[in-house]
Structure 1
């Protein structure tokens, strides 16, 4: 009896231990399955959260300067900004797999919502916002050596000017770098393509600047004059042709310029009368564009400085709309007329891009004038020769040329915004060294070359 009783007691103890072991296992399993829920609740008398998988945004003052810039401009480095903290969680295998799943879910959700943790391109560079910085590697070509392409009236090295510090500056955008211009590399990239600049004399300056930048100012024997292909030949009695076109034989790259002060069609009202007036068709692009757009790969447009009453009278231009003389008094105002033409040209160019997606069209904003104490014909001057007295930075949002900015908005035509950055460079004009300075007329509109228009081309090339 004693032995049987002892046996039963022992068996009872074993059974109790087994039951206790099973209960403990169940409790442990339950604890593992509910740990995340428990961890999500605040402990008694505390609002402090227990350790859980979280995503922390590093404070700005902990970031390096480069990282701050990336953060401010919409780019996130997942190695330095987003940190998944799981090291304080119990490293039990089962719970770790749950944490892994939740962390993956959080990251996936974050990617889906903002693509923060994926390699992404930086937002488009705002080339118009930045600063002028001294750069002794400038200029990009020599005014002495670019005689083949550069007009004497814009080559300030060939004039009486003695201070050339304006040549040694480059434009530095705040949120990106402008690639260093290389003429040979540019021609390689533009192999077989045609780049057309159409606009007023500031467009011609940009054209000559680009040719000089490509050649380095030196004589290129493998450049062919192909102006005749575009009707760019000097007419009898004309001072110069309406434009020029040059083809770099090695790559087949063509650079051309066509003079059009207003970008709209000008039509002689009486073809037999040399002194006839011209119909200025505000709603029609200049025929050169419509005739040759199919041959262009890149088109740069500009207008602005001929939209004034003095030019209208001197050139005998009469406003036409819809093929008839304009009868709208509001449209007779110069600003409204210019606005209409720019919008019509942009709308037409936008349609051309839709039909040929490979075509790239830019509308350059107006180049600033710096006349003081009068205008070009009333004693105005711009005698400053010290760079950056007006400041060195452009911080504003939006273009100073609101007409062009508004016209291209919503279209596929790109804005080449050079107005504000050029406005800081009043010392870069030809000024009293112009050919007309002896007559008391300073040129505070056109620029010395090499000079500011080289920057316009650097920004253009960066956007191609």
Structure 2
């Protein structure tokens, strides 16, 4: 009898133990599947350390401490795969700002050890060697470690995935001179993080951007990010005007070209309906040397300008800007989703002469002339006046770029032959900031 009771008791205890075990397993499984558990843990982002170079950022602006030289270390450039979607959300605080309410041209340069966005020695597919100062003999790269901070508004954080998400199924077109080409190359490096990105497709042929027989290069480039169907392109047009060959009798080669001041370049008229964001620039080719070298002859309203007021190149440029803005304004009315920006002049920093008369730009100390822009009006009044009252937006970069005289290629170009380049910028560099502002505005 005792044995039977003992076995019965043992069996009861065993059953009770199994039940408790099953209940415990059920609770654990339910706990692991419950998303609320994540609210009690700390994300890895909360443990991110301060960038290792931040302690070395000294003497950046008057009153701070940034050495004129920082370690030749580009490991902080983000490794962005533009085709890898993340769950990055837009910066709520930043997106609440109305881009048209913020004066992005007014603010200051501040040190930022997280810069640059990409490595100047690695962005080889997109960046021309002649602008990649990391591939030159320049010994100092402290100029790469700054960002622009607008005075009364936030600058949205640029990342490749964020840009592509905002530009999904859209085309961004840069049309202008070599400074426009620099901005285009900067944008490609920023989107891809400077990586080769073999998945990005060359679609230049869709826009007639193919290298002609005997040409050094095509008239531009176009690339598409297939995951988001985002296209970024550049078309070279130093004047933004229509060029028409002027023939001499039966000679098939043009002796010169009519530069029609009142007509936009043919490329714009042909492809504008395919663009969603357009950035234009012109300025540095409006001089007699360039006109003579390019064999350009001024025309307006269907005839040569002769000895009229338009023979003065400043007046000619002014007519061009107003004519193009007027035409674009009429196109935006038809397509209100089109955003057009006219970029202000990129400043030159030649001292003691021009590029061909011994001019130089030897400074390598960041922000030696100051770090802040407090002007309410643009430093390029010609472009400002051209867009006033129109739907074309001003991309004002002149004053903030004027403070960065240490960022030019200077004497370090491999093929300089002693001539300083105080017009084009080292990349990474100032054009990256132009693109940050553009990103904030689109």
TM-score normalised according to structure 1 size? 0.73
3-state SS of the aligned residue for 1:279?
Answer: strand
Kept in 2, the 8 Å contact 1:222–1:250? The answer is: no
3-state SS of the aligned residue for 1:240?
Answer: coil
- Alignment-derived partner of residue 361 in structure 1: 340
- Alignment-derived partner of residue 253 in structure 1: 230
Kept in 1, the 8 Å contact 2:105–2:373? The answer is: yes
- Alignment-derived partner of residue 387 in structure 1: 366
Partner Cα separation in structure 2 for residue 346 and residue 205 of structure 1: 23
Partner Cα separation in structure 2 for residue 209 and residue 173 of structure 1: 20
3-state SS of the aligned residue for 2:299?
Answer: strand
3-state SS of the aligned residue for 1:430?
Answer: strand
1:297 paired residue among 268, 276, 292: 276
Kept in 2, the 8 Å contact 1:283–1:321? The answer is: yes
Kept in 2, the 8 Å contact 1:265–1:287? The answer is: yes
Kept in 2, the 8 Å contact 1:146–1:219? The answer is: yes
1:440 equivalent to 2:418? Answer yes
Count of residues in Structure 1 that have an aligned counterpart in Structure 2: 345
- Alignment-derived partner of residue 126 in structure 2: 149
3-state SS of the aligned residue for 1:162?
Answer: coil
How far is 1:221 from its partner?
1.9
User: RMSD in angstroms over aligned alpha carbons?
Assistant: 1.4
- Alignment-derived partner of residue 58 in structure 2: none
CA gap of 1:249–1:169, structure 2 versus 1, over 3 A, is: same
How far is 1:273 from its partner?
4.3
1:190-201 correspondence to structure 2 within 5 Å: 190-201=167-178
How far is 1:274 from its partner?
3.1
In structure 1, stretches of 5+ residues that fail to align are 1-118
1:314 equivalent to 2:293? Answer yes
How far is 1:336 from its partner?
0.3
Deviates more, 1:251-260 or 1:181-190: 181-190
Partner Cα separation in structure 1 for residue 262 and residue 97 of structure 2: 42
Q: Which has the larger radius of gyration?
A: 1
1:208 paired residue among 185, 209, 213: 185
3-state SS of the aligned residue for 2:325?
Answer: helix
1:452 paired residue among 407, 419, 430: 430
- Alignment-derived partner of residue 142 in structure 2: 165
How far is 1:328 from its partner?
4.9
- Alignment-derived partner of residue 419 in structure 1: 398
CA gap of 1:186–1:316, structure 2 versus 1, over 3 A, is: same
Kept in 2, the 8 Å contact 1:312–1:318? The answer is: yes
3-state SS of the aligned residue for 2:321?
Answer: helix
- Alignment-derived partner of residue 77 in structure 2: none
1:463 equivalent to 2:441? Answer yes
1:278 equivalent to 2:249? Answer no
1:265 equivalent to 2:258? Answer no
- Alignment-derived partner of residue 105 in structure 1: none
How far is 1:194 from its partner?
0.4
How far is 1:435 from its partner?
3.3
1:402-456 deviation per Cα after TM superposition (whole angstroms, max 9, x unaligned): 110000000000000000000000000000012332x221100000000000000
Partner Cα separation in structure 1 for residue 279 and residue 257 of structure 2: 25
1:77-97 deviation per Cα after TM superposition (whole angstroms, max 9, x unaligned): xxxxxxxxxxxxxxxxxxxxx
3-state SS of the aligned residue for 1:269?
Answer: strand
TM-score normalised according to structure 2 size? 0.76
Kept in 2, the 8 Å contact 1:128–1:421? The answer is: yes
Kept in 2, the 8 Å contact 1:436–1:442? The answer is: no
- Alignment-derived partner of residue 327 in structure 2: 348
Partner Cα separation in structure 2 for residue 419 and residue 407 of structure 1: 16
1:103-145 deviation per Cα after TM superposition (whole angstroms, max 9, x unaligned): xxxxxxxxxxxxxxxx997970000000000000000111111
1:136 equivalent to 2:113? Answer yes
Kept in 2, the 8 Å contact 1:178–1:462? The answer is: yes
3-state SS of the aligned residue for 1:340?
Answer: helix
Deviates more, 1:324-333 or 1:230-239: 324-333
1:407 equivalent to 2:349? Answer no
Partner Cα separation in structure 1 for residue 174 and residue 424 of structure 2: 17
- Alignment-derived partner of residue 43 in structure 1: none
1:189-248 deviation per Cα after TM superposition (whole angstroms, max 9, x unaligned): 111100000000000000000000000001212100000000000011110000000000
Kept in 1, the 8 Å contact 2:97–2:153? The answer is: no
How far is 1:387 from its partner?
0.4
Partner Cα separation in structure 2 for residue 378 and residue 327 of structure 1: 31
Partner Cα separation in structure 2 for residue 332 and residue 296 of structure 1: 33
In structure 2, stretches of 5+ residues that fail to align are 1-95
Q: Which has the higher contact order (CA 8 A, sep 6+)?
A: 2
Partner Cα separation in structure 2 for residue 453 and residue 407 of structure 1: 23
